[in-house]
Amino acid sequence: MGQEFPFNHFLNLDPKTAKKQAHEISKSLKTNDVLDIHDNHNDASFSEEELESINLEVLALIKSKLPEIKFKTFFENNLKLINVKEDEVIFWVKTSFIKKTVDNFTKEISEALEQALGREYKIEIVTENETNQNHSTSPSSSIKLEGSNEPHLAIKNVKSVKNTKFILDLSPTNEDIKHKVESQFLEHMKPVTSKIAIDVNKTFDSFIIGPSNRHAYASAQAVAQNPGNRGQYPALYIHSNSGLGKTHLLHSVCNSIKENYPELTICFTTGRAFMEELVDHTRSNTVHEFRKKYSEMIDVLIIDDIHEISNKTGTQDEFFHAFNELHNKGKQLIFTSDRKPKEIDGISERIKNRLSWGLVIDIQPPDIETRMAILKHKAQEIDLFVSDEIINYIASHIKSNIRELEGSLIRLKAYSEIQKTEIEFELAKEILHLSDMTQKNEITLESIAKATANHYRIQLVDLKSKIRNQETTKARHVAMYLARKKLQTQFQEIGIYFGGRDHSSVIHAVKSIEEELKNNNQNISKDLNSIENSL
């Protein structure tokens, strides 16, 4: 959107006569100081007002020939007439993607031109990048004479700016748009922080039910209706991979209990926040207050990502104490994790047993019908119109993470708002960059390492580092085993990739996983299957 720069404050310009004076300036300039309008002149001698008028008429004629959404997306505020030569007309469009689409409608454009101008013309369509390469100015960043909205008009080598008024164009560039779209996507994808506020929009009504989550949904709803010893599930444990709806169910439980049992005190936290709270009380010598809160003052204790207390012995001791106290008093306990209690490394057996006391259920990745239903609900929620073709396209590509499903719509919504345009199928494909569903992803050392790191919730850089804690070492061994199994890569090459390790270290890693499988280690077997399925 153009913003007028107040040159008149510094140059004593007269805005009332700026246009007339600009015309006089253009006449008085020498040959090398002419206005830059493509080939330095307008062969058909059309004024700027006439070019704008022709452009509007051509757009109106094109609009009558095309669907409204297609016209608004690719022509309205995008296609600009910038020059009429003797036998050729030049149009400007914002991006190469729009140009590619507009090129398919040269027949309609040509017919509209013939109706407007009474004769046939050749048509050339140029983009902003092409304008930048061949001219000193571009539509997205140029200084224009007042009264001209055309992108090709700029002053070159003007020796005097007296009696001239300028407008500084601050329209967002393609990089600006890309940055804003990506920022909104990343904000959506950002993990839940340790401080949780109950989201009133996450309710049972807004939760999309499918075969993969029906049991978890019904169990959470039963707990919300009859929490603690009122119902049959005083302890509930839900596990799944990230982004499948566990946290949404927790918010739903909180909202339902707040509505039906306002007298109950709910504590909704995370494993990390529980640990940090204990550390703060320890530093201030007020651990007794922490224990009183978690044993006497809470009616419903909800801890998301309970696995975050792994390898934290002191935190586990306090959790064990709080669990026993609240359970004995008939309070409601709800926990979530990315794996079953027995599969969490780094926590004591007594805590694994406690977490397994109640109902333990999982959520699987949604089927395509559920994914499509989730996308349609999210589109309605954010007021974004997308066709069923786009919904099906996204649902067919993103299969294992609801947060990513919804994030794709956040991207489209951001682009639609910034560009003030409807989203059509080809435009959606251009924005989202989703791979062709018929094209199988190539398996590489990098893809195996990334999939393993994602599964074990550790950083990829840690797999390649010298870190040797139990969790990282296990993940590294699994990644090396899979690299050997899937790629038949040489031990030396695998070792080099994983931080320059000797081939003997890789041999040891592969043999250790093979030994686990021989001993029928179900946890390792499940991990391997899960990682391989994600490749």
pLDDT digits (tens, 9 = 90+) for 136-154: 334 433 323 333 333 333 3
Listed by start position, the domains of the chain span 2-169, 214-362, 368-432, 445-534
**Helices 313-328, 287-296: inter-axial angle, 10-degree rounding:** 30
- Over residues 309-318, the mean pLDDT reads 93
What confidence score (pLDDT) does residue 174 get?
Answer: 56
- Over residues 292-314, the mean pLDDT reads 93
Instruction: Out of 157-161, 165-169, 205-209, 443-447, pick the least confident.
Output: 157-161
| C-alpha dist (Å) from residue 110 to 11, 37, 91, 121, 416 | 44, 22, 12, 7, 29
Q: What's the pLDDT band for 176 if we cut at 50, 70, 90?
A: low
DSSP state of 454: H
Q: Using CA atoms, how far apart are residues 321 and 325, in angstroms rounded to an integer? A: 6
The predicted model scores a pTM of 0.51
End-to-end CA distance of the chain: 44
Q: DSSP assignment of 205-242, as one string?
A: TTSPP-TTTHHHHHHHHHHHHS-GGGSS-SEEEEE-ST
Residues 6+ apart with CB under 8 A from 288: none
Q: Using CA atoms, how far apart are residues 75 and 345, in angstroms rounded to an integer? A: 58
Q: What is the dihedral of CA 378, 379, 384, 386, to 10 degrees?
A: 160
What confidence score (pLDDT) does residue 424 get?
Answer: 87
pLDDT digits (tens, 9 = 90+) for 211-255: 889 999 999 999 999 999 888 899 999 998 878 889 999 999 999
Contact in structure between 233 and 222 (CB atoms under 8 Å): yes
∠ Cα 504 509 511 (to 5°):
95
Higher pLDDT, 190 or 290: 290
Q: Using CA atoms, how far apart are residues 483 and 491, in angstroms rounded to an integer? A: 9
Q: Which CATH class is domain 2-169?
A: alpha beta
169's tokens: 């164009």
DSSP state of 86: S
With 50 as the cut, is the pLDDT of residue 36 above it? no
Closest CA to 412 of 424, 428, 391, 392: 428
Average pLDDT, the chain: 78
Domain 214-362 sits in CATH 3.40.50.300: yes
pLDDT digits (tens, 9 = 90+) for 378-389: 888 888 888 888
Q: DSSP assignment of 38-80, as one string?
A: TTTS-TT---HHHHHHHHHHHHHHHHTTS-HHHHHHHTTTT-E
Per-residue burial over 449-462, b if 16 or more Cβ lie within 10 Å, else e, is bbbbbebbebeeeb
Q: Using CA atoms, how far apart are residues 112 and 329, in angstroms rounded to an integer? A: 80
What confidence score (pLDDT) does residue 45 get?
Answer: 59
pLDDT digits (tens, 9 = 90+) for 46-67: 778 888 888 888 898 888 888 7
The amino acid at 11: L
Q: Using CA atoms, how far apart are residues 113 and 180, in angstroms rounded to an integer? A: 36
**Of all helices (H) and strands (E), which one includes residue 166?**
strand 166-169
Q: What is the dihedral of CA 326, 328, 329, 334, to 10 degrees?
A: 40
**Of all helices (H) and strands (E), which one includes residue 325?**
helix 313-328
pLDDT digits (tens, 9 = 90+) for 283-297: 999 999 999 999 999
What confidence score (pLDDT) does residue 178 get?
Answer: 54
Higher pLDDT, 217 or 7: 217
Q: Using CA atoms, how far apart are residues 83 and 92, in angstroms rounded to an integer? A: 9
SS3 content of the chain, % helix, strand, coil (to 5): 55, 10, 35
With 90 as the cut, is the pLDDT of residue 460 above it? no
| C-alpha dist (Å) from residue 273 to 47, 291, 327 | 67, 15, 21
Q: Is 446 exposed, middle or buried (0-12, 13-18, 19+ CB in 10 A)?
A: exposed
Q: What's the pLDDT band for 341 if we cut at 50, 70, 90?
A: very high
What confidence score (pLDDT) does residue 66 get?
Answer: 81
What confidence score (pLDDT) does residue 141 get?
Answer: 33
158's tokens: 């003007």
CATH number for the domain whose boundaries are 368-432: 1.10.8.60
With 50 as the cut, is the pLDDT of residue 257 above it? yes
Q: Using CA atoms, how far apart are residues 453 and 259, in angstroms rounded to an integer? A: 40
CATH number for the domain whose boundaries are 445-534: 1.10.1750.10
Contact in structure between 449 and 443 (CB atoms under 8 Å): no
Closest CA to 488 of 505, 504, 506, 476: 506
What confidence score (pLDDT) does residue 131 get?
Answer: 52
With 60 as the cut, is the pLDDT of residue 321 above it? yes
